[in-house]
Each structure stands twice: as structure tokens, then as C-alpha cells.
Amino acid sequence: MKISLIQSKIYWEDQVANLIHFHQLIASIKSKTDLIVLPEMFTTGFTMNPKKQAEENGSTLLWMLAEAKKKKTVLMGSVAIKEKNKYYNRLYVAYPNGKHQHYDKRHLFRMAGEDQEYTAGKNKLIIKIGKWKICPLVCYDLRFPVWSRNKFTEKGSWDYDVLIYVANWPKARAYPWEQLLIARAIENQCFVAGVNRIGKDGNGIEYSGNSTVIDAKGISLAKFKNGAPGICTVELKKNELDKFRKNFPAGLDADKFKLI
């Protein structure tokens, strides 16, 4: 499976400018890819003003579906949305056949007041692209290994093969971002992709990106230059992951647990 990560600036609270910007970036991907991943809140930046910025008309979702259809690929990214008088940091997965799924961010970043403005999600999402099972999560979720945990089933298989985090993760905490992504890959015996923004937001917070793809051994397969915009396409090989899991079956000794 080929996965394309887009590391980019985000125009502060400007949906129109961001949709034009990301349309151009998506169009610039000329090689075949199975999945394109955009950052967290890619239409606004990490806004704590959902009363003005959250969407309830589905305009960005329609845009994502159109882009997915045009590119013949799956498109993923999160958006501030309003639903039944509540606000969510919602990650959409748009498919080229016109279907979509979503995941609402579970862990809301209280240090920025996200927990005061948005409603936390309750359910994880695992999607399928071909033979691959993928679990998409959002930014602060990365710090919580229980929520991110890959379950080893009674049938002897893992819940997912790829863990993806879309983020607006500040430059000031870049080191934990990099280390936690590696830890999630190793402990869950899966590929991990982290897609972060760059630039400065409307609150003056700087972002250095540090987007990356990591294999199940914790080795980086691709890494962006700090603070630099770019698009990177990486091919993930299922046979290599299956072989590693078979030769090092740590899942057989994993602790059983249940989320309450």
C-alpha cells in the first residue's frame, strides 16, 4: 500500500484558502497512491472558536469526497464540525466511491481548552483499504497508549496494521512527538504514520512538522525536514509486517484488557 503524507502550513481560520491550498497540493501528487493524509483541522488550524468555525453543512466532507473521486484514492484529515448542537474534532475518511467514515477525537487537549469547546468521541475506528486494516487517531490521542493499543485477537491476528495520527503538534513538544510515535509502532507491532502541520497559527504557536512513517521495529522509513513543507509517498509492505509478527509473536503474551 502506498501512503502519501502532506506536511503543510494552514491558513488560520480560513476554510476557502485552505481548500484551495490543499487542492493544489493533492493535485501535485502524480504517482499512484492508495491513501492521502492531511493534518488535523486542516481547514482552520487548531481553533478554539467552533461557534464561528465549525461546519454543519458538510462542505469540507463534500470537497474531500470530490478530491478522493478525482484522485481515485482514499483521503483522510480532521475538521471542526457541529452536529446536534455539539462540536467535534472529527476525522473524515473519504473514499473514491462516494462513501465515508469518521472518527471523533477522543482525548481533547485541555491545556488549550479543547475539552471546554468540543465533545470527546467514544468509539475507535478501524478502516480497510485492500488487505490493510488502519486505525486513524488525532493528535493528543498519541499520548494515551491504552486508547491506541492494538489488540491481539483470539483468532491470532491484530486489530490493525497501520496506526495514523493527524496533528497540530507544537514545535515546543517535538521531541515527545517523535518518541511517542516510535513507541506506538514498537508496542503495537504495526506501521505508524504521523502527519503534522508547519508554520505559525493565529495564537502565535509554532509547528515544526516532523511528520514521519515508522515500521514495526521503530525504524523511520521517511521523515520530513523540520519546518519544511512537502509531500512524501511511502510504500508499506504487508508481507514484511506479517513476517516480522510471525517471527516475533509478542501478541501471544499481550495482556488482555477491556476499555470501559
pLDDT along the chain (260 residues), means of 10: 99 99 98 98 99 96 99 99 98 99 99 98 98 99 98 89 99 98 98 99 98 98 92 98 96 84
Sequence-ordered list of residues with C-beta below 8 angstroms from that of 35, at least 6 positions apart, any chain: 1, 2, 3, 4, 73, 74, 75, 76, 129, 134
- The domains of the chain are located at 2-251
Is residue 40 among the annotated active site residues?
Answer: yes
Catalytic annotation on 206?
no
pLDDT at res. 256: 82
Measured distance CA(26)–CA(4) in Å, rounded: 9
Q: Specify the pLDDT at position 166.
A: 99
Give Cβ neighbours of residue 9 (< 8 Å, ≥ 6 apart): 197, 198, 199, 229
Q: What is the pLDDT of residue 257?
A: 79
What is the Cα–Cα distance from 141 to 58, expressed in whole angstroms? 24
pLDDT of residue 131: 97
Which distant-in-sequence residues (6+ apart) come within 8 Å of 19 by Cβ? 43, 60, 63
The pLDDT tens digits of the residues spanning 17-58 come to 999 999 999 999 999 999 999 999 999 999 999 999 999 999
Q: Which of 40, 55, 67, 114 is catalytic?
A: 40
Tell me the residue type at 58.
G
Q: Which one is catalytic: 9, 67, 105, 135?
A: 105
Catalytic member of 9, 55, 114, 139: 139
- Residue 153's pLDDT is 85
Q: What is the pLDDT of residue 172?
A: 98
For 2-251, the fitting CATH number among 1.10.10.10, 3.60.110.10, 1.10.645.10, 3.50.50.60 is: 3.60.110.10
pTM score over 0.85: yes
User: Across the beta sheet with 162-167, what order do the strands follow?
Assistant: 127-129, 132-138, 162-167, 191-196, 212-214, 220-223
pLDDT for res 235: 98
What single string gives the DSSP state of each residue in 187-208? HHTSEEEEEE-EEE-TTS-EEE
